[in-house]
Structure 1
Amino acid sequence: MSLSVRRRPLTAALLASTTCLGLLTACGFSSETGTETGSSGSKASAGGGSFPVALTNAWGRTEVKEKPVRVATVSDGDTAIALALGLVPVITPDVEDGDQVAEYKQRAITKLGEKKLKTYDDTDGTDYEAIAAEEPDVILGVNTWDMDTDYAKLSPIAPVVTFADKKQSDTLTWQERLKTAAKALGLTEKADAVIAANEKTLKDAAAAHPEFKGKTYTYSVVHPEQITYMSYADQDPGVFEQLGLVKHPRSKNYSANKNGVSLENLDELESDVLLMTYPFGDEGLLSASELETNKLFRSLGVVKNKHFAVVPSENTLASAIAYPDALSAPWVVENLTPILAKAVAGK
């Protein structure tokens, strides 16, 4: 439903909602991926694992001379990319807010033969000295909002792989970020395999649950200031729609800049299936118990007929839905489909 970037605390992550994609042609430059290709025999692209690789980004030009072995990351999303490509980063930022490492990410770490990753404290931003001490061959920064500050200090340490345009910090899909990183790492085929596997996971889940197909849904987040209509018409299709659900026709009345639902208009949430999440707990506009005992909310057909469900935030499921990354799809499907199945069945 949204992008995979340096993971902010869930409360902030669920305030955002956007996504998009691209590639390149010979002897040219892609504004989407920032990759330059060479002319007449030059091997500047890592499509087949050839080096050197030249990458143009919003801050300059990066050249990766040899296939990287030691990879550092500057965001949670970049760490997911490295792990998905089968690489254990030499150093990563720690998990924000003292949270546990997401279960799906820990699974990948364990599968690669590690118990935990080496991390630096990023409370005050990127720790350049800690990264430099690990002597990385390359630094992945395709999932960060901090590159404006970081690039000048990271680029003397090692080649920095990042986006071609500053706006892309918020607009690239996880697939595009993965492909950009894979070019620099000489792992394009591996990236394609990861994307195909994730797509298959979603297709298989949709096929296993034909009852989802065509059901309208509303997805809402209880923020401190408002109840937010997250599944507005222009919101890019996310996991709900990949599993067969469709946005309610009422979604056309909402947008990224007009997405608040007042307590007097809770009937705007009416749909075949209603999904809510409460990432702020008692600091939200109202708690789960306060909303779910509200007379107007309880009068909604979708609630009375038990087609209402809560997407948990404490286990990072809501965050993984809002910010999909290269590792999350199988775990999201595993955890979300039982919730959806009960809601569609009215159980």
Structure 2
Amino acid sequence: MSLSVRRRPLTAALLASTTCLGLLTACGFSSETGSETGSSGSSGSEASAGGGSFPVTLTNAWGRTEVKEKPVRVATVSDGDTAIALALGLVPVITPDVEDGDPVAEYKQRAIVKLGEKKLTTYDDTDGTDYEAIAAEEPDVILGVNTWDMDTDYAKLSPIAPVVTFADKKQSDTLTWQERLKTAAKALGLTEKADAVIAANEKTLKDAAAAHPEFQGKTYTYSVVHPEQITYMSYADQDPGVFEQLGLVKHPRSKDYSANKNGVSLENLDELESDVLLMTYPFGDEGLLSASELETNKLFRSLDVVKNKHFAVVPSENTLASAIAYPDALSAPWVVENLTPILAKAVAGK
């Protein structure tokens, strides 16, 4: 699924994923190349210099950005941009308050502490980007490569500091986290650091897959219980995501589903049958049905995958489901760390 923009509440993020991004649409990751699967692989920005040399000039959908000196003070306008800064070893001078009172995601807090801080300085983003709060922090550069709001924000942010964003408006949805990371790294003079982050994430995936040969070739179905339907998220045209990077493969039935045809009715729950079935319930009682209602459903309980205990729930309350849906440079190792045990139990039938 594409990279995320400002981290919205998990329910909103996963609702959008059924209509816009899917499980990992346009954000597929190739562990061999670190590039987007199913896309042109364009980085989305062109720099006249990078990797530590300044000035750096980048083209974007609204003009050109020149970063004259290596930035020290970095502001971000989305959670994905904050993840990029932290992954590159930088604590932003200000970020949007995307948690809305909820605890900070574990992987983000780990990175913050590792960089010597307890928490981030934030602004209230309830009504969108707070330009005055950002300006007050006097940033050297503003990262906006993971936002859907740049069409509105650019004109108001660019007088504050150079804005690093994508070259084409369409790329707000289509760039991989690797491409976004590399774009930001060019402007920050941290290209080698970005390459190291990507390589480390590749190694994490390869090592996890090698440690679990039992995953290889097992068919899987991943579904999300949304307010109006049970959504077949692992449809055939969906870009390969973390499940497949760990060795699973889509069920042949996935060819019957697409981004625009992904609903599974209660009368057709047998469509979820697979070697491994993974579900998540981000909406709780506000979903089409609760976890207990689905898991006590007679047809659901009759599925071989359920009877043989190859069924597992991907938790939403700890942000794992959201992190799978919206991967970024910071969350990938944590996703593998938390997802692998769930898959291992499901494959083993425990």
Q: Give TM-score, length-normalised by structure 2.
A: 0.91
1:242 aligns with 2:245: yes
For residues 292 and 6 of structure 1, the distance between their equivalents in structure 2, rounded to whole angstroms, comes to 33
| Aligned counterparts of 1:48 and 1:203: Cα–Cα separation in 2 | 27
1:42 Cα deviation after fit? 17
CA RMSD across the alignment:
5.6
Q: Measure the CA separation in 2 of the matches of 1:245 and 1:49.
A: 40
Using the TM superposition, give the Cα deviation of residue 5 of structure 1 relative to its aligned residue in structure 2, in angstroms. 2.2
- Number of the residue aligned with 2:26: 26
* Contact in 1 for aligned 2:44/2:183 (Cα 8 Å): no
Q: Secondary structure at the match of 1:23?
A: coil
- What SS does the aligned partner of 1:302 have? helix
Summarize the Cα distance change of 1:18–1:201 in structure 2 as closer, same or farther, 3 Å threshold: farther
Alpha carbons 1:49, 1:187 under 8 Å: kept: yes
Aligned partners of 2:43 and 2:183 also within 8 Å: no
| Structure 2: gaps (5+ residues) | none
Identity of aligned residues (%): 97
The answer to whether the Cα contact below 8 Å between 1:2 and 1:236 also exists between their aligned partners in 2 is no
1:65/1:314 Cα in 2 relative to 1: closer, same or farther (>3 Å)? same
**CA offset digits 1:68-118 (Å, max 9, x no partner):** 000000000000000000000000001233221100000000000000010
Of 169, 173, 189, the match for 2:172: 169
Tell me which residue corresponds to 1:338.
341
1:96 counterpart residue number: 99
Q: 1:214 to 1:102 in 2, by over 3 A?
A: same
Deviates more, 1:146-155 or 1:46-55: 46-55
- For the Cα contact (< 8 Å) 2:105–2:319, is it kept in 1? yes
Moved more, 204-213 or 43-52: 43-52
- Separation of aligned partners in 1, 2:269 and 2:144: 41
**Structure with bigger RCO (C-alpha 8 Å, 6+ apart):** 2
- After TM superposition, give the deviation of residue 60 of structure 1 in Å: 1.4
TM-fit CA distance, 1:14: 1.2
8 Å Cα contact 2:26/2:174 also seen in 1: no
Residue pair 2:36, 2:176 contacting (<8 A) in 1 also: no
Cα offset, 1:294, TM superposition: 0.3
The structural deviation recorded for 1:330 is 1.2
Change in Cα spacing, 1:324 to 1:102, as seen in structure 2 (3 Å) is: same
Q: Confirm or deny: 8 A CA contact 2:31 2:206 kept in the other structure.
A: no
**Cα contact 1:22–1:33 (8 A) shared by 2:** no
Q: How big is each residue's C-alpha offset from its partner over 1:16-39, in whole Å with a ceiling of 9 and x where there is no partner?
A: 449999999999999999999999
Identify if the C-alpha distance between structure 1 residues 23 and 182 changes in structure 2 by more than 3 Å, giving closer, same or farther.
farther
Q: CA deviation at 1:282?
A: 0.2
Q: Secondary structure at the match of 2:278?
A: strand
Write the deviation string for residues 284-311 of structure 1: whole angstroms up to 9, x where unpaired. Answer: 0000000000000000000000000000
Helix, strand or coil: the match of 1:63? strand
Q: 1:42 to 1:21 in 2, by over 3 A?
A: closer
CA offsets, 1:235-287, max 9 Å, x none?
11111000000000110111111100000000000000000000000000000
Report deviation, 1:61.
Answer: 1.1
Contact 2:46 2:57 in 1 (8 A): no
Q: Is the 8 A contact 1:63 1:159 kept in 2?
A: yes
CA separation in 1, counterparts of 2:131 and 2:17? 30
Instruction: Give the one of 252, 268, 274 matched to 1:265.
Output: 268
Match of 1:297 among 262, 285, 300: 300
Q: How many residues align?
A: 347
Whole-Å separation in 1 of the counterparts to 2:44 and 2:253: 54
Q: Evaluate the alpha carbon distance shift between residue 62 and residue 253 of structure 1 in structure 2; reply closer, same or farther with a 3 A threshold.
A: same
Distance 1:125 1:197, change over 3 A: same
Alignment counterpart, residue 122 of structure 2, candidates 114, 119, 122? 119
CA deviations on 1:116-145 (whole Å, 9 max, x unpaired) are: 010000001100000000000000000111
Q: Structure 1 residues 183, 22: closer, same or farther in 2, change over 3 A?
A: farther
8 Å contact from structure 1 (residues 31, 165) kept in 2 = no
TM-score of the superposed pair, with normalisation by structure 1: 0.92
Aligned equivalents of 2:296 and 2:145: distance in 1? 43
Gaps of 5+ in 1: none
8 Å CA contact retained: 1:22, 1:176: no
Residue 2 of structure 1 and its aligned partner are, at CA, apart by: 3.8
Instruction: Note if contact 2:209-2:247 (Cα within 8 Å) is conserved in structure 1.
Output: yes
In the alignment, the residues of structure 2 paired with residue 157 and residue 260 of structure 1 have an alpha-carbon distance, to the nearest angstrom, of: 45
Aligned equivalents of 1:19 and 1:279: distance in 2? Answer: 16
SS at match of 2:277: strand
The answer on whether the counterparts of 1:36 and 1:45 sit within 8 Å (CA) in structure 2 is no
* Distance apart, 1:15 and its partner CA: 2.7
Q: Secondary structure at the match of 2:196?
A: helix
Say if 1:178 and 1:303 are closer, same or farther in 2 by CA, change over 3 A: same
The 5 A counterparts of 1:171-320 are 171-320=174-323
- Once residues 282 and 336 of structure 2 are traced to their aligned partners in structure 1, the CA distance between those partners, rounded to angstroms, is 20
1:65 shift after superposition: 0.6
CA-CA distance at 1:7 after TM superposition: 1.4
In structure 2, relative to structure 1, the CA distance for the partners of 1:238 and 1:30 (3 Å cut) is closer
Please name the residue that 2:14 is paired with. 14
Indicate how the Cα distance of structure 1 residues 194 and 26 shifts in structure 2: closer, same or farther if over 3 A, else same.
Answer: closer
Asked if the contact 1:35–1:55 (Cα under 8 Å) also holds between the matched residues in 2, the reply is no
